[in-house]
Amino acid sequence: MKKIVSIIVIILILISNATIVLADDFDEDDINDSEILEDIIDVSTNVENIPNTNSRAVLIYDRGAKKVLYEKNGYSKRAMASTTKIMTAIIVLENSNLTDTVEISKKAGGTGGSRLGLKAKDKITVNDLLYGLMLRSRK
């Protein structure tokens, strides 16, 4: 089961085209945004320090040093899309059986953005729903 979770997380990371920064489980620091802005390390003069990413927004923060190491649109608000997909996949894997069959509700069947084209009362396995979750969302 842990292998499946790892594979799904890796696939979602590759699909989402996002940069992910891991943090501690508990955030006991009281972070002051103005302090963070003052401590941004200037990487513009050293091309070697600029991460190679095609993400629209990135923020890398060193909690130990309390410094932003790099940011690209790091202070703009963004949707949680891929993070939500990853968390949904983990919760489903931890709490359900992949071979279970579920019936699509009227509300879920009417939700847009899916490439699966599910309608109310369709029956599908949890495994296939997870596969559908990992597909790239429509833009």
Please identify every residue annotated as catalytic: 82, 85, 137
Phi-psi sector, 59: left (phi>0), alpha (psi -120 to 50), beta: beta
Biggest alpha carbon–alpha carbon distance for the chain: 58
- Distance in angstroms (rounded) separating the CA atoms of residues 75 and 59: 8
For strands 101-103 and 67-72, give the pairing.
Answer: unpaired
Angle at which helices 2-16 and 81-95 pack, to 10 degrees? 170
Tokens of 120: 């109310």
